[in-house]
Structure 1
Amino acid sequence: MQLIIGNKNYSSWSMRPWVLMKALGIAFQERIVRFDFTPDSAFYREIGAVTPAGKVPVLVDDGLAVWDSLAIVEYLADRFPDKAVWPRDMRQRARARSLCAEMHSGFGQLRSHCMMNIDADLATVGARLLQTEAGLRKDLARVVELWSDALTQSGGPFLFGGFGAADAFFAPVVMRVTRYGLPLPAPLKAYTTAVEAAPGVREWIADALAEKDFLDFEEPYRDVSGPVPVLKP
């Protein structure tokens, strides 16, 4: 199988299936296509040759292209029933799917104000945004509610015990929370630490930090004109 992804520093959607497959030991070949959203860019040409959706991630398995992170996760669950993509218990599986679906379709304020940028220290920006953006505060409160409920029921270290689809879907949220310094209760800070230490996530972070490919349109808060990005005041 081949997983087509975008820049690891920025591509939150790509991160989800990648870290899940790594965590569960599902073998795949990685193919990175550098972000460039200008018309007729190499990005659109390469992705368009696989799927007309024109977005990453895309999983290609024996000629079949599966796009969208949630569809890829469901395909993996069917393709590898022995892997714990979802919880084994039906009720817990339904809860995990509900968490992923809510993440997949919601949290617009968190996404738009706190774009994923693993290489950056944006705590100053995060503090300012929390003061001015009520929608962001609401999204963060909902994250706290979801994580607290799941971890209380599972006992940790992950949302449903072992690392699974729900943790993979919230891994980019962990990146946002930690890079923007968003406040969490102590038990949830322990969860973010566990997620960052998970094998697949740890490897993704290392790769993202090694990229040093800073794209202006992905950098609303930093000056990327020089070799070392500097946080704007």
Structure 2
Amino acid sequence: MLKLFIGNKAYSSWSLRGWLAVKQSGLPFEEVVAPLYDDAWDARRQEPDFAPSNGKVPILWDGDVPVWESTAIIDHLADKVGLDRFWPTDFAARAFARSISAEMHAGYVDLRRHCTMNLRHVYPPEPLPPEVQANVQRITSLWDQARTRFGAGGDYLFGAFGAADIMFSAVVTRFHTYSIPLPALAAAYCEAVRAHPFMVEWLEGASREAWIIDKFERAVQ
């Protein structure tokens, strides 16, 4: 049995990605939510369940084998259930999917910093700093390329839901939370991701959480 440790569903973007990866695998798993930044957090993250990842979530235990970092979790699960569950079968599409997923994992720091993940609110739109707007334009350009070149036959970046959609899932939530204007193709894609059964399940779980982390909250105008 797999065991996945995640943070608060309302706030933890990387937990969302790891959780979606396990759901996409189709394998049974146990989910353990570890509240982030509560009074016990510093001690909890030193416990054996979290030590291999240096206290970061998500961390997946496959028996006695720990796997952390969302891209590593995706790769590990793909080894178990097959590459095609996560990545396009077409060679060029798979290369593009891997490239944009890696860019997501390493990039868009300004968007992440300015628009932290928060599923508790939908804020009114406001002007974005130029560097954040540049992130948005880059992301929507990549989405447009993926959808127009490889997305026939489905509503997601490469047709069927897969690893690239998992990696961009928290960006979708940020665009919604902060009411960021999007081109029509990107807006339709975001609607499809938010309507996916896995995302609906996550959003419902987040809505039931009672925890509030002040550092991730913004005053509602």
The corresponding residue for 2:97 is: 96
Q: 1:120 to 1:216 in 2, by over 3 A?
A: same
Deviation at 1:82, TM superposition (A): 6.5
The corresponding residue for 1:78 is: 79
The corresponding residue for 1:185 is: 183
The alignment's TM-score, normalised by the length of structure 1, stands at 0.87
The alignment of Structure 1 onto Structure 2 pairs a total of residues equal to 218
Alignment of 1:1-233 (within 5 A): 1-36=2-37, 41-46=42-47, 49-81=50-82, 84-124=85-125, 127-128=126-127, 130=128, 133-153=129-149, 154-155=151-152, 156-219=154-217, 221-222=218-219, 231=220, 233=221
The 2-side partners of 1:50 and 1:200 are apart by 28
Q: 1:218 to 1:42 in 2, by over 3 A?
A: farther
Q: Percent identity?
A: 40
The 1-side partners of 2:140 and 2:194 are apart by 17
For the aligned residue pairs, the C-alpha RMSD in angstroms reads 1.9
The 1-side partners of 2:118 and 2:23 are apart by 21
Q: 1:47 to 1:38 in 2, by over 3 A?
A: farther
Post-superposition Cα deviations, 1:160-201, rounded to whole Å, max 9, x if no partner, equal 110000001101000000110001111211111110011111
Retained in 1: the 8 A contact 2:24–2:86?
A: no
Post-superposition Cα deviations, 1:41-79, rounded to whole Å, max 9, x if no partner, equal 243134665415210010100100001111111111111
The 1-side partners of 2:80 and 2:191 are apart by 30
Retained in 1: the 8 A contact 2:45–2:51?
A: no
Q: 1:27 to 1:50 in 2, by over 3 A?
A: farther
The 2-side partners of 1:2 and 1:168 are apart by 19
Retained in 1: the 8 A contact 2:3–2:61?
A: yes
Question: For 1:123, what is the secondary structure of its paired residue?
Answer: coil
The 1-side partners of 2:48 and 2:139 are apart by 32
Off by >4 Å, runs of 4+ in structure 1: 37-40, 47-50
The 2-side partners of 1:47 and 1:91 are apart by 41
Post-superposition Cα deviations, 1:126-179, rounded to whole Å, max 9, x if no partner, equal x14x1xx11101000001101111011213410011000000110100000011
Retained in 2: the 8 A contact 1:17–1:69?
A: yes
Question: For 2:45, what is the secondary structure of its paired residue?
Answer: helix
Instruction: Look up the equivalent residue of 2:95 and give its one-letter code.
Output: A
The 2-side partners of 1:55 and 1:49 are apart by 7
Instruction: Look up the equivalent residue of 2:55 and give its one-letter code.
Output: G
The alignment's TM-score, normalised by the length of structure 2, stands at 0.92
Q: 1:47 to 1:210 in 2, by over 3 A?
A: farther
Q: 1:142 to 1:22 in 2, by over 3 A?
A: same
Instruction: Look up the equivalent residue of 2:56 and give its one-letter code.
Output: K
Deviation at 1:81, TM superposition (A): 0.9
